[in-house]
Structure 1
């Protein structure tokens, strides 16, 4: 199926003239096939090839829904070179590396006081007593990388605008909604995909290397933990760097899709009005109406980012997998999340049921405040680097 395939018409509620959108756009061609996150337990040759290119030492065993098997990036190479020393010296090295490589972007970070020495000591005690730490992160850990969140007071999307993210049902049933989504995503992608991990991401990566962090679950879809080098992790809500077909399940890289958007819309231009989480920007209906959306190259089906939209549910297999990792852990740390969304909140409830100590590091109130062992109101990238972690891998 080539670029001349027919597209379905889209109805627009406006008075201006809008040419009909063809059925879901021309199909993609010659795109790399990536295994779906729903079935990555066994590697195919492409997975192994991607893995070999991106890792400089033998891989850890791949687990379903982990980020150990392949990287979704063509421009972000990851390495797993060992830290050069052991014990306290290695401990200091890991912390200084994380702190020195990044500087925070505070445009979307709520105002807060510097870490209180007593709070630092309390979190230090919590982490030191944890042998198999289960960490869950949310949008608040990525705001210091320049990515806005939804709920932060004064700076989150809901505080700055009445715009709301697309709903799963709307995306599935409406061609015009998909056209609007992909046009906005196309404009926002170059900036969104260029964001880099901040100090907090790097600290958690180092905790994993030092044997402190047992498993990391992120509710974010920005891939910053993967860029930082974390491997023992699950992307609970998926990742915007992958796109899959709703009909046949074929998966492609989002960066590859961007090239096809450009080829399909060579004269289309739009100026964004504001920025939103998840790579979205604000566009008018007039800007969107001429944008063409490609279809799956294998079957002509609808392409969707490999993320869980609002109104959708996380797969039962992934939820079970995360529960298993939580059962192996002895404590839980929530970093940068108010835990308002049940898909993540359920694991805090499970941790409470197992009587695991729970610490929260988040600016503002959370859904867990009434039963957490410890609540800290500080920036993740400011407090986490202050915690000393010993190497337990030797």
Structure 2
């Protein structure tokens, strides 16, 4: 397909399954996933069709303003109530099954929700880190998110009960309206500021993590982008790496992406990741 031509297969997932399946004919592919693969698990998308506009917190806001840290930890604690019922969906399970069958050499994800690993995927490169880990800035002490949230409860008795109806947001936390006076947890080892071990807007992906993602693409025979509009430059850079190698790219996403119309995109499906990846796995005999 030449640049500027109409994307392939946008009207019907079924129509595009044959060319999508053929992407795996030469060998295993790599899959790059975004927030859209987790929407069927109950985590809203930032930019997906029908999603309300959401402004992610920037790293300078978190570091420089206590009010933003209060907002984050309050949202993280209340969001944990919602996350108790969040499980991997059919899309995550299909990805794990494709990897187990040798049809994927690994998963690169922009998500921090850990759902790929929970679904059984073995080789997972988390570009933006893991929301399950918290570290302190002064000394790098690491703690599990669950234990830090337990410290929040001790310092803020009754807060969770008062805010339990707050709406879950795209990062899996909650949009808590009133966080004034909230006590922010600190590192028990050194008293330093705690932050989630994720890449905030305004930060760069760890070079070693990006290198691991690039290595998967270097050894793949195709790249599948699933559930991402590719609005973040890191994902686009990985697509460019696939293009330099001359391997085909497939895109599965509801709504437009930043690479629609590029010549490397052999398959373009405007549809949900759960149903498409499940159908793909079935078509491939997984």
| Length-normalised TM-score, structure 2 | 0.89
Flag the structure with larger Rg. Answer: 1
The residue aligned with 1:215 is 106
What does residue 261 of structure 1 align with? 152
Contact kept? 2:134, 2:197, Cα under 8 Å: yes
Q: Are the aligned partners of 2:34 and 2:111 in contact in 1 as well (CA < 8 Å)?
A: yes
Q: Which has the higher contact order (CA 8 A, sep 6+)?
A: 2
- The answer for the alignment partner of 1:133 in structure 2 is 29
Which residue of the other structure, out of 112, 133, 146, is the alignment partner of 2:42? Answer: 146
Aligned residue runs from structure 1 range 33-182, under 5 A: 115-127=12-24, 129-154=25-50, 156-158=51-53, 163-182=54-73
* Structure 2 Cα separation of the partners of residues 272 and 169 of structure 1: 28
1:376 corresponds, among 258, 265, 269, to 269
CA distance change for structure 1 residues 221 and 193 in 2, over 3 Å: closer, same or farther? Answer: farther
CA distance in structure 1 between the partners assigned to 2:22 and 2:195 by the alignment = 44
Q: Over residues 23-69 of structure 1, what are the superposed CA-to-partner deviations in whole Å (9 max), with x where a residue is unaligned?
A: xxxxxxxxxxxxxxxxxxxxxxxxxxxxxxxxxxxxxxxxxxxxxxx
Distance 2:11 2:197 in 1: 37
1:195-221 Cα deviation digits (max 9, x unpaired): 101001001101111111102101011
Ranges in structure 2 where 5+ consecutive residues have no aligned partner: 1-9
The answer for the alignment partner of 1:186 in structure 2 is 77
RMSD across aligned C-alpha pairs, in angstroms?
1.7
Residue 239 of structure 1, aligned match among 115, 120, 130: 130
In structure 2, how many angstroms separate the alpha carbons of the residues matched to 1:258 and 1:214? Answer: 35
Superposition map of 1:315-330 within 5 A: 315-330=206-221
Structure 1, unaligned stretches of length 5 or more?
Answer: 1-112
Write the distance in 1 (CA, Å) between the matches of 2:206 and 2:86. 28
- TM-score, reference length from structure 1: 0.66
Conserved in 2, the CA contact under 8 Å of 1:115 and 1:383? no
Q: Secondary structure at the match of 1:291?
A: coil
Deviation at 1:271, TM superposition (A): 4.6
Residue 386, structure 1, aligned to residue 283, structure 2: no
Q: Report the Cα distance in structure 2 between the residues aligned to 1:168 and 1:255, rounded to whole angstroms.
A: 22
How much does 1:367 deviate? 1.1
Verify the 8 A CA contact 2:82 2:168 in the aligned structure 1: no
Q: Secondary structure at the match of 1:278?
A: coil
| Compared CA separation, residues 132 and 386, structure 1 to 2 (3 A) | same
Contact 2:81 2:164 in 1 (8 A): no
Choose which of 352, 359, 365 in structure 1 pairs with 2:250.
Answer: 359
- The ranges of structure 1 where at least 4 consecutive aligned residues each deviate by more than 3 angstroms after the TM superposition are 113-116
1 or 2, which has the higher strand percentage?
2
The alpha-carbon deviation at position 193 of structure 1 amounts to 4.7
> What is the CA-CA distance between 1:239 and the residue it aligns to?
1.5
